[in-house]
Structure 1
Amino acid sequence: MNESPRSNALRETVESGEAALGVLDNTYSPTMVEFLGELGLDFVWLDLEHAGPSPSDGPSLEHLLRAAERSGVEALVRLPEADPALVRKALDAGARNLFVSRIETAEEVRRAVRAARFRYDGEAGDRGMASPRASRWGTAEDYVDVEDAETVVGATIENPTAIENIEEILDVPELGFVFAGPLDISVALGYPGEPTHPEVEDAVEEIETAALDADVPLGGLGFGPDDVSEKIDRGYRIINVGTATGAVKQSVTGWLDGIER
């Protein structure tokens, strides 16, 4: 029998009180995921809400996860909704870190977290038992205990209803983190593309305060090095610092701007 799956380095970083930094791979390329991992990031964000493969496309997700594992970086997978079936599918493919979008209530979050557990809050969980890739096709030792200990499930807070219910959401047992979504909040409040609008900033601050008071790890977007540093000082523990295509754009335009033709 094979040894238990490796521990979750993202979970360990967050639980230690340090900040985990990552980049969104919006090319959905295994090569790019593997390369980003070689650069020393804590995680690569795979956003299955806005683009990329279908969240139910197990083989495509497996290729991205293998690339992350090859270079020793954690994959952070966002699902488009808190559908327990999608949670189970992603975990069986080998994901360890998930967060769900478009939630509004604590019950939605609870269903997603329960779907990720064989045992949940002192009762039976809702994760299916099979022999998927996550179990090394049935050869991993201590599969149930390791999966329950290492899997992290979070929730994006990105609309007024979720903010109204933030205290109940933060009280969901075994919730791994909440991720403040200023861009979607800007849309929901009627200021699309204006994350610095005062009403949007007030909403994000409400999320921040509630999460920190509840001692639930807080995640979010970083808008430049100074903003990332400020967010770390404020208590953020999961921060996305940019995108793969944004990095390419910055490099290529810098090269072209420096050439005289």
Structure 2
Amino acid sequence: MPTHSPRENDLRHTLESDDVALGILENTYSPMLVEFYGELGLDFVWIDLEHAGPSPFDGERLEALLRAADVSGTELLVRLPEPDPGMVRKALDAGARNLFVSRIESAAEVRQAVQASRFTYDGEPGTRGFASPRASRWGLAEEYAASEDEEIVLGVTIENPTAVSNLEEILAVPDLGFVFAGPLDLAVSTGNPGEPTHEAVESHVETIRERALEADVPLGGLGFGMDDVNEKAEAGYGMLNIGSTTGALQGTVQSWLEEYSGP
């Protein structure tokens, strides 16, 4: 019977290097666009299952998006709405290798999510279930458990003051893949919705940046225009989202309309 080596996680390798991974939020949930973004050379395509899209438990929809990423050599970055261990396991079994989890406040919640992504964790048994899902090429992958524990990246969004205050303990959680500074939700949680550049928000974001760099944990964030992306890359961010599908369409179509001279 033929066997298959599991695919290596290119995003993990980028995060562990001095390079910066660039990606885009694909907020139409289209496999075709995921594949297209990979062909364009993006390092990752972000699929947000917190605010829209299919259910995080919809394995069939997730598998279609993951296959599109595999075809073009990009990595899917799947955002889960909460640190639910069952949700983590479901996404990983569908074949996701890169997850980031929202709505965390404590190191205990982070540890629970990371532990759910591992067969062996911090010298003890993990809580990921062993089966023959797509992640294992339906049982054909060689050294499946060891490879998954090596290649899986699970990060968390820091998006509220409580998480910021617990950041030192969060950053110390073993095998935490990255922290993602979330200015939009930090704006809400600090009482400044819609103001990601408010001084209270920027202060929290800077704290996240400084402590992540000190702890040598990769840092992800949002880029608000390419000048901001370039500044953040210089400031130590290892993963940056540079835009979204609807944002790109909006800017392009509006520019066409503005240039239209009429009859």
Residue 259 of structure 1: aligned partner: 260
Q: Gaps (5+ residues) in structure 2?
A: none
Residue 96 of structure 2: aligned partner: 95
Structure 1 CA distance for aligned equivalents of residues 11 and 133 of structure 2: 22
1:193 aligns with 2:194: yes
Structure 2 CA distance for aligned equivalents of residues 127 and 143 of structure 1: 12
Q: Percent identity?
A: 67
Residue 249 of structure 2: aligned partner: 248
SS at match of 2:3: coil
TM-score, normalised by the number of residues in structure 2: 0.98
Residue 53 of structure 2: aligned partner: 52
State the 1:255 CA deviation: 1.6
State the 1:44 CA deviation: 0.1
Structure 2 CA distance for aligned equivalents of residues 41 and 187 of structure 1: 30
Residue 112 of structure 2: aligned partner: 111
Structure 2 CA distance for aligned equivalents of residues 97 and 91 of structure 1: 8
One-letter code of the match for 2:232? K
Residue 33 of structure 1: aligned partner: 34
SS at match of 2:196: coil
Residue 67 of structure 1: aligned partner: 68
1:17 aligns with 2:11: no
SS at match of 2:38: helix
SS at match of 1:69: helix
SS at match of 2:113: helix
One-letter code of the match for 1:52? G
Equivalences for residues 69-218 of structure 1 within 5 A: 69-218=70-219
**Deviation string, structure 1 residues 220-246 (Cα, Å, up to 9, x no partner):** 000011111110111000100000111
**Deviation string, structure 1 residues 23-80 (Cα, Å, up to 9, x no partner):** 0000011111111111100000001000000001110111111111111100000000
SS at match of 1:82: coil
Kept in 1: contact 2:4–2:137 (CA 8 A): no
One-letter code of the match for 1:16? S
Residue 229 of structure 2: aligned partner: 228
TM-score, normalised by the number of residues in structure 1: 0.99
